[in-house]
Amino acid sequence: MDALVLARMQFAANITFHILFPTITIALGWALLFFRWRWLKTQDAAWLGAYRFWTKVFALSFALGVVSGIVMSFQFGTNWPGFMQTVGNIAGPLLGYEVLTAFFLEASFLGIMLFGHGRVSERVHLVATFLVAFGTTMSAFWILALNSWMHTPAGYVIRDGEFFAASWLHIVFNPSFPYRLTHVLLASGLTVSFLLAGVAAWQLLRGKAQAWTGRTLRVGLTMGAVLIPLQILAGDAHGLNTLEHQPQKIAAMEGIWQTERGAPLLLFAWPDAATQSNKFALGIPKGASLILTHDLDGEIKGLNEFEGAHPPVAPLFWGFRVMVGTGVLMLAASWTGWWLLRRRRWQAAAMPRPMLWWLAGMTFSGWLATVAGWYVTEIGRQPFVVFGLLRTADVASSVSSPMIALTLTLYCTLYLVLIVAYITVVKHMAEKPEAAPAPAGAPVPAPLRSAT
Amino acid sequence: MNWAEALPVIFLALMGLAMLAYVVLDGYDLGVGLLLPRAGDADKDTMIDSIGPFWDANETWLVLGVGILLIAFPKAHGMVLGALYLPVALMLVGLILRGVAFDFRVKARDDHKPLWNFAFFAGSGLAALAQGWMLGRYITGLEVNAWTTAFAAVIALLLPAAYVLLGASWLVMKTDGELQRKARDWARIAWPPVVLGMALISLATPWVSESVRTRWFTMPEFIALLPIPLATVAALGATRWLLGSDHVLGRWCALPFVLVVSVFLLGFVGLAYSLYPYVVMDRLTIWQAASATESLAIIAIGCAVTVPAIVGYTVFAYRVFWGKARALKYA
């Protein structure tokens, strides 16, 4: 296979694996701060139980995020040496600030947050928890600033084929950045909502409910029910922003091959790149025009206007539908679940089992939507690495195909094993009875030691 | 010297510092990982407890070091990591394995614990071997021939020994009782290969590089530089003597660790002196490899504010977990 395709697959595999874990830790950090704060306020042991359990999930997710993040810092150079050589003056400082202001902050205070209880005061511990949550969010800020700049570059000048910064304000707050940051942070919130609700539902189904299970079910459902409408609004705004700056991405997402007025919103179709048309199309007439231009007969540019400079259609078309479909399911599940739980006066144990099964089935739905959406936006930038300015093929490395194929296989195998292990261990932890806290001063029994 | 000339030097210094911090900090926890199979189950937990709060932050120094290489010297990043493609990939696989095994081993089912312990050991070993190989390749200027390959292979085996020495000294400092005694024995076993490794590197670098030879073996530089090898020999000798005595089991328990760290520091200073101003030996200088001055300036401002803060809270984190390792409990 082509070395370029392999290098892209390798980078995509790594970033796909990586994104799963920050998506959890960004919002889970704030959820932990909330649990901890509620515990300090109310002294209700259920909040402490929730904090203890979810801290472990956080630690595990954080570890997976750190190690796959290290891989990223190497692959920028090994897979895309031309990227840093051309736009390094802009990408470099953004990545640098991420490591300096975020990565170190979270990694250093994590130790205190996880194991510092009893060694530092409650207040310092709460501050450490805050700094970890703040660090993960700052991390998202810098990384998305760079990523958004690659989609909607601004604030640069080009001299002798190399990019130089002209205005850092315009580079960081480039046109798509506010939309993308909002969209991603909400995605993280939703991922955690369904993780909280899903694990709680699973415990109830299995008869393994803990004192904190009802709390997290309520927190998860409330978070989900509030965030999903916001996400739909944010997603719509982001889509309109994309239409303005990257119309070919929208054309591919909607499967619009030829420029047309009153374009239908396709619910199902089989985009065929060979004939430049859709097979088996089923759509709502004029739907796409209405959503994108807020006018029934609005004109949408087709892919025919971007000959040789538009992304492949099928992955965008399908990725977008998977993301939106998951979002609709999230809306239905969180609103139904919240309403049912409220009707039962927040008694989680009284929840109907089909509803619990539904929520348990959606435990990792946030991952699906996030990854699908990420594919849409990233594949949608192709064939460019910096939209309209720098082609991916021009920055690839000269490493040979067999070498990339070998390491790709290695990484993929490892990532698959680790995802299976992660899900299995979260399930195992959810089902394990809570260890009774050891009385103060008593020696810790051997099997309970070392909670690293 | 104007800013355009000075900034690459500043970033080289910063990158060197980050790499040194990484090798010392992750070095001891990689060493502990390598020693894990030698301990019983209870000792295994204590060993992990001694590094538990730190490892995430320790590995972050690697991201900073490689990050600076990437953002300040992008041309060198491509050249070095392209040439070391496979060992880099193997090191990353190793680091992934050990990083996650750390967390999985206590959260997974009890009967899976030995498996994750093994993953922790194997990952540590793979990462240390790969790093040794890369160090060997790097100091011979990424030149590929039979001699440099053999050299890289030898360093690949000796760097893990250095990590074991560091990790064992860390355990002497952080544990007590039977485990502390065992750690002292492990440190003694690791000592000879470390001495051999230091000697080999000291001989090989002037041998492969004309410029290194002239830098070290001309008067009066030779006299001025003499304290570096002499101090290294003294530190290694003192380490060996201490490890042979019972003093380290008591009040002096931190001394071997401090001495081994100083050996790493001296080795680093010697290597830095040999290489400067090259970022790839005899091929690419820091000024040839550097990013635009404006971009370096904006990162430098960030570093001036954040690096002292990072050092500050790293010290704070170590102080919180000061003294002998206690069992870690999630709060």
pLDDT tens for chain B, 331 residues long, are: 687 788 888 888 888 888 898 989 888 989 999 998 888 888 888 888 888 777 777 888 888 888 888 888 888 887 888 888 889 889 989 988 888 888 888 787 778 888 888 999 999 999 999 999 998 888 888 888 888 888 889 889 889 999 999 999 998 888 888 888 888 889 889 899 989 888 888 888 788 777 778 888 887 878 888 888 888 889 889 888 888 888 778 788 888 888 888 988 988 888 888 887 888 877 788 888 887 787 788 888 888 888 888 888 788 878 878 777 777 766 5
Query: Which of A23, A368, A46 is closest to A200 using CA atoms?
Result: A46
What CATH class is the domain B3-320? mainly alpha
Please check whether residue A444 lies inside any domain of the structure.
no
Residue A439 has a pLDDT of: 40
Identify the pLDDT of residue B199.
Answer: 87
Comparing CA positions, the residue from B297, B230, B242, B237 lying closest to residue B269 is B230
**CA nearest B325 in A: which residue?**
A450
Comparing CA positions, the residue from A176, A80, A146 lying closest to residue A391 is A80
Q: Model confidence over A259-285: pLDDT tens digits?
A: 888 888 888 888 888 888 888 888 888
Question: What sign has the CA pseudo-torsion A153, A317, A139, B130?
Answer: negative
Inform me whether the C-beta atom of residue B106 falls under 8 Å from chain A C-beta atoms: yes
What's the confidence (pLDDT) of residue B330?
65
Helix (H) or strand (E) holding A159: strand A156-159
CA gyration radius for chain B? Answer: 20
Write the single-letter amino acid at A156: Y
Tokens 């538009």: give the residue.
A310
CA distances from residue A372 to A22, A54, A187, A265, A376 in whole angstroms, order as listed:
16, 26, 12, 19, 6
**B74: preceding bond cis by omega (within 30 degrees):** no
What is the tens place of the pLDDT at every residue in A41-63? 999 989 999 998 999 899 899 88
Neighbours of B177 (CB within 10 A): 11
DSSP string for B116-184: HHHHHHHHHHHHHHHHHHHHHHHHTTT--SHHHHHHHHHHHHHHHHHHHHHHHHHHHHH--HHHHHHHH
Measured between CA atoms, how close is A111 to chain B, in angstroms? 4
Looking at A294-396, list the stretches that DSSP marks H as alpha helix, in order from N- to C-terminal side.
313-343, 353-361, 365-379
Number of domains in chain A: 1
Instruction: Extract the tokens encoding B282.
Output: 């005899």
Contact A410 B93 (CB under 8 A): yes
Residue of B nearest to A395 (CA): B78
Say if residue A377's pLDDT is above 80: yes
In the structure encoding, which two tokens stand for residue A225, read together?
Answer: 């029910």
Supply the pLDDT for residue A442: 38
* pLDDT band at residue A222 using 50, 70 and 90 as cut-offs: very high
pLDDT band at A443 (very low <50, low <70, confident <90, very high): very low
Query: Which residue out of A108, A120, A131, A164 would a mutagenesis test of the B interface target, given it has the greatest number of B Cβ atoms within 10 Å?
Result: A108
A107 touches chain B (CB under 8 A): yes
Assembly ipTM: 0.79
Give the model's confidence band at A435: pLDDT under 50 very low, under 70 low, under 90 confident, else very high. Answer: low
Would you state the structure tokens that stand for residue A384, as one six-digit string?
Answer: 């460019």
Report, in angstroms and rounded to the nearest whole number, the Rg of chain A calculated over CA atoms: 23
Break chain B into its structural domains and give their ranges: 3-320
pLDDT of residue A449: 41
Is there a contact between B320 and A411 if contact means CB atoms under 8 Å apart?
no
Compute the distance between CA of residue A6 and CA of residue A410 in angstroms, rounded to an integer: 13
Nearest alpha-carbon partner for A356 in A192, A206, A224? A206
* Residues of chain A found within 8 Å of residue B312, distances taken between Cβ atoms: none
Contact B27, B166 (CB under 8 A): yes
Mean residue pLDDT of chain A comes to 88
DSSP A437: P
Q: How far is CA B13 from the centre of its chain?
A: 16
Residue pair B30/B168 in contact by the 8 Å Cβ criterion: no
Any B CB within 8 A of A155 CB: no
Please name which of B211, B195, B318 lies closest in space to residue B260, comparing C-alpha atoms.
B195
Q: What is residue B177's predicted lDDT score, i.e. its pLDDT?
A: 83
Domain extent at residue A353 = 3-259+301-434
Predicted confidence at residue A445, as pLDDT, reads: 39
Whether the model clears a pTM of 0.80, i.e. scores above it, the answer is yes
A59 lies in a domain? yes
Residue A254, number of CB atoms within 10 A of its CB:
27
Chain A interface, best mutation among B50, B70, B179, by max A CB count within 10 A: B70
A279 lies in some domain = no
For residue A58, which of A361, A366, A422, A330 has the smallest C-alpha distance? Answer: A422
